[in-house]
Chain A
Amino acid sequence: AQKITQTQPGMFVQEKEAVTLDCTYDTSDQSYGLFWYKQPSSGEMIFLIYQGSYDEQNATEGRYSLNFQKARKSANLVISASQLGDSAMYFCAMGWGNRDDKIIFGKGTRLHILP
C-alpha cells in the first residue's frame, strides 16, 4: 500500500543551522513524484521542491534540497542556513505518474527555529 511516513512530529533547531526533515515512502510503482510543502501558521500551503523517481540528480531550490535515496525509499528535505521564517509545518507528499490517483501526504513535521 502507498504510504508516506514522517517520523518527526516536532523539531527545534537553532537559527543558521542546517535542518533535515525525514520522509520515507512506500510504493511498488516505478513512476512517482515526491513533493515537499510548507505550511506556516497563517495556513497557506507553499510548494517547496519536487523530485521525480527517474531524476538522477537530487533536486535543489535555493536553500532547499531533497536528499533522494531511492533504494531506501527516502526523500528527506534539507534546509540550509535556517531562518526564523522557516518555522512552520512541513509536509512530504507523493503522487504517481502512471495512473489516476490522488496525492498522499504525510502527517507533517512542525519545525521551530530558535533565535
Chain B
Amino acid sequence: DSGVTQTPKHLITATGQRVTLRCSPRSGDLSVYWYQQSLDQGLQFLIQYYNGEERAKGNILERFSAQQFPDLHSELNLSSLELGDSALYFCASSVEGRRNTDTQYFGPGTRLTVL
C-alpha cells in the first residue's frame, strides 16, 4: 500500500457526461500528479500540483481540469466525455515535487469506462 488513495476505483458513464476523480496524497506529501494510462497512448502525464498551485502541465485536454485543495487532496474533473477518454487514471504524490527526482508514489488508480 503506497499510502495514496483514489476514489472511486471504477467508474462507468456515458459520452457527454462529467465525472470527478478524487485523490488523497500520502501524509506529508505536498505534490500531487495525475496520469492517464490507455492501451494506445501508454502512461501520459496530465498535470502536477504543488501545495495548492499548478506546477507543471502535460498532455491535459481542455475538457479536463484539476485542482488541489488546502488539505492537499486533489480532484480531476473530466467533462464532455468521449469514448477515447476510457482509461486508467492514476494519482501520484511526492514529498515536494520541486524537483522531479523525488520519488512519486502511485495510488491504485480509477478505471474510467465511457460507453
Interface residues of A (CB under 8 A from B): 31-33, 35, 37, 43-47, 50, 52, 91, 95-98, 100-105, 107-108
Contacts and interface: CB of A to CB of B under 8 A. Distances in A.
The DSSP consensus for interface residues of chain B is strand
Contacts of A52: 101
Nearest to B43: A105
A62 to B, nearest CB: 16
B2 interface: yes
Contacts of A46: 2, 106
Shortest beta-carbon contacts, A-B, top 8: A95-B100, A33-B101, A45-B106, A102-B45, A105-B43, A97-B101, A97-B99, A44-B108
Interface residues of B, number: 24
7 contacts: A31-B99, A43-B111, A45-B90, A46-B2, A95-B101, A101-B56, A102-B100
Contacts of A100: 55-56, 100
B110 to A, nearest CB: 10
